[in-house]
């Protein structure tokens, strides 16, 4: 399972990069299945670490997206409205979800590094 070393990971299977970009992990993609819909917050929305900020849907079910850290949404991936499957095809690249301006950068310390995340999903 791909888990890039440069990212930080939440227990809810979201990743966060150094620029504040957020996405879901390859593990989450596999769990969700065929992704057919993504609902993201408006630019300017304040999100809170571990709280839901949007939803991602497969044919079968609705899953919530949880913010890995708190802050203001400064960009969203508009392309997902028409091609939600991009999240599954490229979860760490073109399938990013939102970009957050962190309000409390120290929250990043609570996230796992790639090795820690790999250990977590191995234990599931």
Partner 1 sequence: MHQTALDARHRALGARMIPFAGWEMPVQYAGLVEEHRAVRSAAGLFDLSHMGELYVTGPDAGRALDAAIVTTPSKLAIGRAHYSMIAAADGGVIDDLIVYRLGEQEWLLVANASNAETVATALRQRIVGFDAKLDDASLRTSLVAIQGPLAADILQPFVPIELSSIKYYSGTKTTACGVPALLARTGYTGEDGFELFVDWADGVQVWDTLLEAGKSRGLLPAGLGARDTLRLEAGMPLYGQELDRGTTPFEAGLGRVVKFDKPGDFVGRAPLEAAMEQPRKTLVGLKITGRGIARTGYPVYLPAAPEPCGVVTSGTSSPTLGTAIAMAYVPPEHAAPGTALEVGIRSQRASAEIIPLPFYRRST
CA distance 103 to 116: 24
What's the min distance (Å) between Cβ of 63 and partner 1?
12
What residues numbered 21-40 form the site for partner 1, per CB under 8 A? 33-34, 36-37, 39
Task: Give the nearest distance from C-beta 81 to partner 1 in angstroms.
Answer: 8
State the minimum distance, in angstroms, from the CB of residue 58 to partner 1. 7
Does 43 help bind partner 1 (rule: CB under 8 A)? no
Q: Using alpha carbons, list the distances in angstroms from residue 100 to 67, 84, 107, 119, 124.
A: 9, 20, 13, 26, 28
Token pair 């992990």 is at which residue?
25
Q: Which is nearer to partner 1, 18 or 59 (CB)?
A: 59
Q: Is 101 in the site for partner 1 (CB under 8 A)?
A: no
CB contact at 8 A, 14 and 40: no
User: In degrees rounded to 5, what are phi and psi of residue 93?
Assistant: -125, -105
11: helix, strand or coil:
coil
Asked if residue 6 binds partner 1 (CB under 8 A), the reply is no
Q: Binding of partner 1 at residue 57 (CB under 8 A)?
A: yes
Query: If binding means CB under 8 A, how many residues of this protein chain bind partner 1?
Result: 12
The answer to the question of residue 46 lying near partner 1 (CB under 8 A) is no
């Amino acid at each position: 399972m791909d888990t890039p070393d440069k990212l930080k990971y939440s227990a809810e299977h979201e990743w966060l990069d150094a620029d504040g970009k957020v996405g879901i992990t390859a593990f989450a993609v596999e769990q969700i299945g065929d992704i057919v819909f993504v609902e993201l917050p408006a630019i300017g929305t304040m999100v809170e670490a571990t709280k839901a900020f949007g939803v991602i849907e497969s044919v079968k079910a609705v899953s919530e997206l949880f913010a890995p850290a708190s802050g203001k949404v400064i960009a969203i991936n508009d392309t997902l409205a028409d091609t939600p499957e991009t999240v599954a095809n490229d979860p760490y690249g073109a399938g990013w979800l939102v970009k957050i301006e962190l309000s409390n950068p120290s929250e990043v310390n609570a996230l796992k590094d790639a090795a820690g995340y790999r250990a977590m999903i191995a234990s599931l």
